[in-house]
């Protein structure tokens, strides 16, 4: 999968001097997403507007807006990957729940097949999923 190739839709508009402006970009991109098994959607909520606006100040504005958006009916849809600066555990959980509810994209689901998979590859992914589940339960 090539970064920014035909199979990717990326929003990485990172130079903003206000969280409100960045939120408008993020929201517009989130609303344009539809689940597609052949496309990876990546949204960056992070931004900077140095020297006055550092990433944490942008995150303090964008993260609550994203949280509110995901809690409303408009936010209950497939998102894809959402890369964030300084997210709360609740915000991370909302992102995961939206993806799961939208298309049964449970990150802990059993993988049916992996291209050219051997028994060792299947076991590797099973072990990786178990480790991720265990880590997620200890995240907070």
pLDDT, residue 5, reads 72
Judged against a pLDDT cut of 90, whether residue 84 lies above it is answered with yes
Structure pTM?
0.70
pLDDT bracket for residue 123 (50, 70, 90)? confident
Residues 6+ apart with CB under 8 A from 61: 18, 19, 20, 22, 23
Q: Kindly list the distances between the CA atom of residue 74 and the CA atoms of 12, 77, 107, in Å, as whole numbers in the listed order.
A: 22, 7, 22
Give mean pLDDT, residues 15-36. 90
pLDDT digits (tens, 9 = 90+) for 108-118: 555 555 555 67
pLDDT digits (tens, 9 = 90+) for 43-75: 999 999 988 889 999 999 999 999 999 988 665
Neighbours of 59 (CB within 10 A): 20
pLDDT, residue 140, reads 45
């Amino acid at each position: 999968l090539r970064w920014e190739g035909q199979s990717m839709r990326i929003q990485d508009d990172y130079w903003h001097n206000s969280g409100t402006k960045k939120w408008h970009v993020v929201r517009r991109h989130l609303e344009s997403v539809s689940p597609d098994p052949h496309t990876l959607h990546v949204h960056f909520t992070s931004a900077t507007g140095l020297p006055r606006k550092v990433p944490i100040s942008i995150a303090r504005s964008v993260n609550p807006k994203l949280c509110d958006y995901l809690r409303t009916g408009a936010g209950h849809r497939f998102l894809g990957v959402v890369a964030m600066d300084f997210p709360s555990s609740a915000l991370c959980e909302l992102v995961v729940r939206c993806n799961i509810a939208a298309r049964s994209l449970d990150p802990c689901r059993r993988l049916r097949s992996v291209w050219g998979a051997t028994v060792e590859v299947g076991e590797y992914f099973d072990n990786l999923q178990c480790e991720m589940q265990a880590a997620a339960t200890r995240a907070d």
